[in-house]
Each structure stands twice: as structure tokens, then as C-alpha cells.
Structure 1
Amino acid sequence: MKLALVVLNYNDADNTLKLLGNVADYTVFDKVIVVDNASNDDSKVRLKSFCEFNEKIYFVVNHENKGYGAGNNVGIRVAKNLGMNLVLIANPDTNFEENVIRVLKSAMTKNKNIGILAPLADTQDAYGSRENVLKGATCWPVRDFYHSLAENGPISRRIFSKALHYDENFYNAKIRKVGAVLGALLMVRVDAFIKVGGYDEKMFLYGEEDLISKKMADIGLETAVITGYKYKHIHSASIKKSLKSLYSRQKIREESTMYFYKKYLKINPLQQIFAKIFFAAVRLEVLIFGLL
């Protein structure tokens, strides 16, 4: 099984170059694919300079930023053309050991029923605890419309955290089937990813995790986590560099989430109205309390 690393950059050359430096000696990767998502700073120049003398690295420049999903779709199509079977999608603000990736690759090779696999993000809290969940859970159950909406509210997700996430006992097993995993670091089967159409490019940012897991489930493939291995994630560091305003990030989150609800959860008109009212309240929370 051949494995490629795909890293999507947007105005974040510092973190991207740090990640590339960290994995430079990782033999687990057959190829490394760096996609610049139409950065408007000096990222393209710096990354091209780093990549052009390394035959293992493929540097791709998108001329338009169509979002997280579209950018990673490009990287995975390149991986397909290079004959890769598996891809590790990694945000620039992640840090992981080679052994963790070897374990993921081995598990994907042995378990043909798994389409998406991830280790746990290291939050230094007990997994499933309230502290862990509020810092950003690695994985979560399949959610219907109302549970998903509750998770999107800064206050409601604090009130209903037990109903929205797995408890501590869930993580006792070595490998667990889950509803979805955090998009910062995950391994996917290339052919399956392309078969389901990859990420929906109408979702610019946020919500892609639930969608890609749903698409995989529709063709009989599971999403899972390996609980004994972790990676570090500077939570949303890359996003915050390009979208500094909490309010701006919230607006993009709402647009992607509403699109997901309408197209994939098939919510009715009354539910659409309810969601719009709910998100208006969330924007007020963000402005007043800055809870996101």
C-alpha cells in the first residue's frame, strides 16, 4: 500500500514549512503533496523554493481559493495520479511521530472495511471528559439535525456535552468505530474518497468531517479512531491566521452547516427557519462573549 501526505497551505508557510521539516525523514510516506490554496502572501515563493529540489515532494498551486475541501480534493487527485492507495490529510498546524502513521497505515491495510482512520488529538485531558470535549474532540457520534445544531452553539454544546460526545469508557478499546473524526489529521482510502466525490466543494470551511464520513458510510466504509496513539494540533492555528475574526469564522461555519443540513440531512422548511433563528442567537453569543 502506497501512502502520500497531503498538506494544504493558505497564507501559512511558517507552519507548513515546519511540518515539512518534521516529516522530511519519514520513510512511511512514498510522496508528499503540498497544495497552496491561492495564498496572497509570500507562501508560494517560500514553499516552491523548499519543494523544488526534493523529488519526493509535489508542489501544486491553486489559482483560486475554493476552501478546505476543494484544496484537499486537488491533493488527493494528484495522489491518485501518482498511484497512491492511501493519503494522510494533515493540517499545517499538526505535529505527529512517524510510528503513529505506520500504525494507521497498518490498520488500514488489515481492515478493508475502514475508509477513514485517525489517531487521537492530544489535549492532555481524559478522552470523553468535559474538558476534552470543549477543547475540541477528536471524534464524535453520528448526529441528527438537532444534535448537530446543539453542537454548533457555544452555550448549548456546553450544556449538552454528554449527549453530543462519547464518554470516557468509549476509549477503552484499541480501535473504535465513530461517526466522524476531526479534519486536522486523518487517513483516507484514495479510491473510496474519489468514488464518493471527495469533499463537497460548496462547503468552504467547517462541517467537512461529518460529510465525508457520511459519504463513506453510504458505500459501506467505516470511520474509526485508534485510541492508543496521539498527535498534536495547535487548534485552528492555520484558520485563525487567515480568518482572525470570530464573527467571520462563525458566518462561514453557518453557511457550510446550513448547506449540509439542506442537501444531506434534508431538513424541512420549518427546521430551516429554526436553524436560522438558532444561528442568529449564536452570532449574538459570539459578539458578546467570544465563546467560540
Structure 2
Amino acid sequence: MKEADIVFIVLVFRNDKDLIDLIKSVNLKIKTTYKIVVVNSYYDEASKQTIEKVATKYNCDFINVPNRGYGSGNNKGIQFATENYKFEFVVICNPDTEIIKFNYRDLAGKEKNIIAPEIITLQNNKQNPFRLINSKLLDSIKYAAFKRKKYKLIYIDIVINKLAKIFVRKYNNLINKKEYGIYSCHGSFLIIGREAMRVLGELYNEEMFLFSEEDHVAKLAMKKNIVTLMNSNIQILHKEDGSVKFIDSKIMDMIGESFIKYYEYWYSEFSVKENR
């Protein structure tokens, strides 16, 4: 079994240009031992060959998986990493992210944690903390909104979470606190310690094709007593803003489908018993 302090898992769907930028940023900014695992979510042979050539050129591992969504692809990448590497940390990152600042010393003693870096979009939005409040009431409001397609109700959750996020960020900036506990982190770039990964087991619910993966991971971490830490010393550029156009009903329907699966998995009577 090979050794690396950090294994980066990058799930790619046709996006070779951003993948190259990410790999270059890892090569430039990471000053400890690491390996990049490129997971190709299959679209066609031409795109597969393009992504594989990039992986080969930059000395990355390459695996090809069926296009069954974010959770399935990343689970396959995690499985590959655990079967082939002895590591201290796994980083799950989108290809449209780049490392701005990353000092391995900031991860010292965090093998039992999930670490959420400072993720900054091109519009200068700060995407972490993703959520600060774990509330069944707010989840129930969102569930009802998605089931009935009354999407304006979702703003209740959005406003409450945004106000909490503004307050917590300002308070911690005021006292110059760079690291503190949060409920959930953005899914575009997260760091998971070796011991946390062992305790968490399979990270993603593969029935959720896209969206709400942050909610599932947060609930799983809470159930397994894994603490998620915001660490603003580690800084990441996310080139996709990730904001949702609420007028786009197709996107909202996709978000709703994933959130309904999340809610019914964690809150239905059967699932609660199953997950105890």
C-alpha cells in the first residue's frame, strides 16, 4: 500500500480545463506528500480519453465510473483511496476549485475531524460555514415546500441560516478566531481526517444524484460524533458561484428531489430506526 499525507479525490464530468487548473494549484501549493485521484464520471469515450490523458500527464491516478451522480462517484473515489493508500487526510474537491492557501500544519491533530476551508467564489461570496443550524423544524418546512412545490417557503430557511452565518463570521472575525465548530461545510472542497473517515464509513447517499449532499454528510457526522471545523487559514477559490436561480423550476425540482430523499432517509420512522 502506497503512502501519502493527503489524497485528493476529484470527480470530473467532461471538465478537463478546470481539472488542469486545479492540479496545477495542488502541485504549486501543497508542500507535503500527496496524490490526486481523478474520478471520471463517464459521458462518452472521447471525454473519457481526454480526462485520462490529463491524469496521465500530471501523474494522477485515474478511475472511470458510471455517471450515477456526485455521491456515487465520490464514494468510488474514497473506496479507491482507502484500498490503495495509507493517508492522513482525504480531500474531496470539485474540478472548478483552486487552492489559494494551504499549510499542512493547519491540519495537525485534526485526524478525527472534517475541516471546512474558507471557500471564496469569483463574486467574492464566502461559502463556508455552509450551515450553522441543525433544525428539524427548518428541515420540515423545506420538505413541505419541496413536496408541494411551494418554493417561496424555502426562503425562511435561507434567511435564518444567512443571518446566523453573518453573525458567527463577524463575531469570529472580531476576536480573530480562525478555527471554530460548525454544523456543515460546502461540498465543493472538504477535508476529512483518517480517523473521521474510518468512523463515517460510506460518506454519501447514492440515491441523491446531485444537491443536498452537504445536509447528508452533516447529519452523518453528527450521528457519528465527528466534529466539523471551520478553518479560515486554508483558502480555496471556487469558480462556480453555486447560487440557485429560484426562477428556474427545473433546477428547483432537482434540488427538491434530493432534499426529499435526504429528509425521508433521516427523519422517516423506518430510517430513524435503521440508523440508530
TM-score interval, normalised by the smaller of the two chains: 0.7 to 0.9
CA shift for structure 1 position 15: 1.2
Could you tell me which residue of structure 2 aligns to residue 58 of structure 1?
A: 61
* 1:222-247 Cα shifts (integer Å, max 9, x gaps): 0011124422112357x99xxxx943
Q: 1:267 to 1:184 in 2, by over 3 A?
A: farther
Q: 1:211 to 1:106 in 2, by over 3 A?
A: farther
Letter in 2 for 1:223: T
* 1:126-170 Cα shifts (integer Å, max 9, x gaps): 9xxxxx5xx744432132233244698564356445555351214
Could you tell me which residue of structure 2 aligns to residue 119 of structure 1?
A: 117
Letter in 2 for 1:156: I
1:222 maps onto 2:241 in alignment: no
Do the aligned residues in 1 keep the contact of 2:131 with 2:182 (CA within 8 Å)? yes
1:10 counterpart (10, 13, 32): 13
Matches within 5 A, 1:135-174: 136-148=127-139, 149=141, 155-157=155-157, 159-162=159-162, 165-167=165-167, 168-171=170-173, 172-174=176-178
Letter in 2 for 1:94: T
**TM-score (normalised: structure 1):** 0.73
- Structure number with the bigger relative contact order (C-alpha 8 A, sep ≥ 6) is 2
Could you tell me which residue of structure 2 aligns to residue 272 of structure 1?
A: none
Letter in 2 for 1:119: P
Letter in 1 for 2:188: A
Give the Cα–Cα distance (whole angstroms) in 2 for the partners of residues 118 and 158 of structure 1. 20
* 1:192-217 Cα shifts (integer Å, max 9, x gaps): 33543211111111111122122222
Give the Cα–Cα distance (whole angstroms) in 1 for the partners of residues 57 and 127 of structure 2. 37
CA shift for structure 1 position 53: 4.5
Give the Cα–Cα distance (whole angstroms) in 2 for the partners of residues 181 and 108 of structure 1. 16
The number of residues matched between the two structures is: 249
* 1:161-200 Cα shifts (integer Å, max 9, x gaps): 5555351214441201000000111101245335432111
Give the Cα–Cα distance (whole angstroms) in 2 for the partners of residues 32 and 162 of structure 1. 34
Could you tell me which residue of structure 1 aligns to residue 238 of structure 2?
A: 233
1:22 maps onto 2:13 in alignment: no
Could you tell me which residue of structure 1 aligns to residue 49 of structure 2?
A: 45
- In structure 2, stretches of 5+ residues that fail to align are 146-150, 271-276
* 1:8-53 Cα shifts (integer Å, max 9, x gaps): 1012222112212332344435211000111237431112112225
SS at match of 2:218: helix
Q: 1:124 to 1:177 in 2, by over 3 A?
A: farther
Give the Cα–Cα distance (whole angstroms) in 1 for the partners of residues 18 and 90 of structure 2. 20
Give the Cα–Cα distance (whole angstroms) in 2 for the partners of residues 146 and 207 of structure 1. 17
2:86 counterpart (83, 86, 94): 83
Give the Cα–Cα distance (whole angstroms) in 1 for the partners of residues 127 and 86 of structure 2. 34
Could you tell me which residue of structure 2 aligns to residue 189 of structure 1?
A: 193
Letter in 2 for 1:165: K
Letter in 2 for 1:60: I
Give the Cα–Cα distance (whole angstroms) in 2 for the partners of residues 71 and 185 of structure 1. 15
- In structure 1, stretches of 5+ residues that fail to align are 127-131, 269-292
Do the aligned residues in 2 keep the contact of 1:87 with 1:190 (CA within 8 Å)? yes
* 1:80-103 Cα shifts (integer Å, max 9, x gaps): 122223111111111113x41x2x
Letter in 1 for 2:193: R
What stretches of structure 1 move > 6 A for 4+ residues in a row? none
Do the aligned residues in 2 keep the contact of 1:17 with 1:47 (CA within 8 Å)? no
